[in-house]
Amino acid sequence: MRFVLRRVGFFVLTLWVALTLNFLLPRMMPGNPALAIIGRFKGGISPQAVKVLQDQFGVGTRQNPVAQYLAYLRNVATFNFGPSLTTMPGEPVSQVVLHALPWTLGLVGVTTILAFALGTGIGIVGAWRRGGLLDSLMPPVFVILSVVPYFWLGLVLILIFGVKLHLLPYFFSYDYTLTPSLSPAFIGNVLEHAILPGFTLLITTIGTWILTMRNNMITTLAEDYVRMARAKGLPGHRVMLDYAARNAILPNLTGFAMSLGFVLGGAILIEEVFNYQGVGWLLLQAVNNEDYPLMQALFLLITVAVLVAILVADVATAMLDPRTRGAR
């Protein structure tokens, strides 16, 4: 219990520091959003418009920083960040984020879970049958794939399956002429559009899980209690799963919880390459366009997600592994 409380206290402190940094950082950047929006017109509007845009965005009026900070904290509590300045001018930030969130959760979230499940499974079996066909094939292949830049792999897949073979759609998250609905046709279309980006993410992230799981397994398999279980004549799959894997998976679980937290950050390059409008792409746009409200909402979302994930991972590890509770 004391352990959990200490973790929660640490969580609150980190959260406050992150929130404050989140407030300060955008304000230390040069330029202002009115100038940024002019850049999007490829020289189509006159510089005289800067003044007008500043008025529209209210960026000319300088508020006192303390009042800004207090207003900021109040808005954070209610997730009210006002309208987006430049990325989606005028739209409420919460709305913009909510539009992008399902796409990222669907694409990056599902592939993260899949990559973890598959990678861990392959790692377990590979280590159990060390030197077997699976073990000599899978880890090297996927470890090599995991160091391939995933946006490059994405481009190659677009070229092969999209441009040359015309098998799969490769841009947008759905056929843009369709109206979003919950009909099977639309859902099928969304899934079809998710295949290439999802597959790219999957095969480039799975290697890490395989490698760590396999290594943990091998160390665990040398433990006395595993030998003991074998000596007792337990069936192989019970020894593998209940005795070895159960202990070996602990470090991987922590990693998994943390990577779930990072899901909200999106996969910036994948979303760019596949013209997929998720959170990662939104974040990049917000930074490029100096869209402070949107930036802050996204950074906040990501920070909180990662902090919560770390907290959950800590607590989960403590519950699964009594040894960690006594530490410190």
- Can residue 185 be called a binding residue for another protein (CB under 8 A)? no
The one-letter amino acid code at 152 reads W
Number of residues in contact with another protein under rule CB under 8 A: 58
* Least distance between another protein and beta carbon 11 (Å): 34
**SS3 at position 83:** strand
Give phi and psi for 183, each to the nearest 5: -70, 150
Point out which span in 105-113, 163-171, 223-231, 252-260 binds another protein (CB under 8 A). Answer: 163-171
Between 275 and 324, name the residue whose CB sits nearer to another protein.
Answer: 275
Nearer to another protein, 43 or 233 (CB): 43
Among 2, 27, 62, 164, interactor with another protein by CB under 8 A: 164
Q: Does 268 sit near another protein (CB under 8 A)?
A: no
If binding is defined by CB under 8 A, does position 183 make contact with another protein? no
Q: Find tokens 């989960």 and name the residue.
A: 316
d(C-alpha 127, C-alpha 217), whole Å: 6
Contact assessment for residue 304 and residue 15, using Cβ atoms and an 8 Å cutoff: yes
Query: Is 205 in contact with 240 (CB distance < 8 Å)?
Result: no
For residue 228, what are its two tokens? 């003991």
Q: According to CB under 8 A, which one of 1, 77, 163, 231 is a site residue for another protein?
A: 163
**Residue from 10, 14, 26, 56 binding another protein (CB under 8 A):** 56
* CB-based contacts of 21, cutoff 8 Å, min separation 6: none
For another protein, what does the binding mask look like between residues 104 and 143, x meaning CB under 8 A? ----------------------------------------
What letter represents residue 218's amino acid? I
223 binds another protein (CB under 8 A): no
Please report, as residue ranges, which positions from 13 to 32 form the binding site for another protein (by CB under 8 A): 29-32
**104: Cα within 13 Å, side-chain hemisphere:** 29
Can you tell me which of 75, 277, 317, 324 binds another protein, judged by CB under 8 A? 277
Tell me: does residue 2 bind another protein (CB under 8 A).
no
Residue 287's Cβ-count burial label (10 Å; 0-12, 13-18, 19+) is: middle
Render 176-239 in DSSP notation, one character per residue: TTSPP-S-HHHHHHHHHHHHHHHHHHHHHHHHHHHHHHHHHHHHHHTSHHHHHHHHTT--HHHI
Q: Which CB atom, from 31 or from 131, has the smaller least distance to another protein?
A: 31
Distance of closest approach, residue 181 Cβ to another protein, in angstroms: 11
Q: Tell the smallest beta-carbon distance from residue 316 to another protein (Å).
A: 37
Residue with tokens 């920083």: 65
For 92, list phi and psi in degrees, rounded to 5: -60, 135
Q: Report in angstroms how near the CB of residue 275 gets to another protein at its nearest.
A: 4
> What residue type is assigned to position 86 of the chain?
T
Which range in 49-57, 113-121, 196-204, 295-303 contacts another protein by CB under 8 A?
A: 49-57
Stretch that binds another protein, among 112-120, 124-132, 277-285, 305-313 (CB under 8 A): 277-285
- Among 19, 53, 249, 264, contact with another protein (rule: CB under 8 A): 53
| 193, 169 contact by CB (below 8 A) | yes
Assess 200 for contact with another protein (CB under 8 A).
no
Structural contact between residues 62 and 272, judged by C-beta atoms closer than 8 angstroms: no
Task: Using the structure block, give the residue that is written with the tokens 């770390």.
Answer: 310
What whole-number distance in Å separates Cα of residue 251 and Cα of residue 177?
A: 46
Q: Which listed residue (12, 13, 25, 52) binds another protein by CB under 8 A?
A: 52
* Residues that bind another protein in the complex, under the rule CB under 8 A: 29-32, 35-53, 55-56, 86-91, 99, 155, 158-159, 163-164, 166, 169, 171-180, 271-273, 275, 277, 281, 285, 288, 290
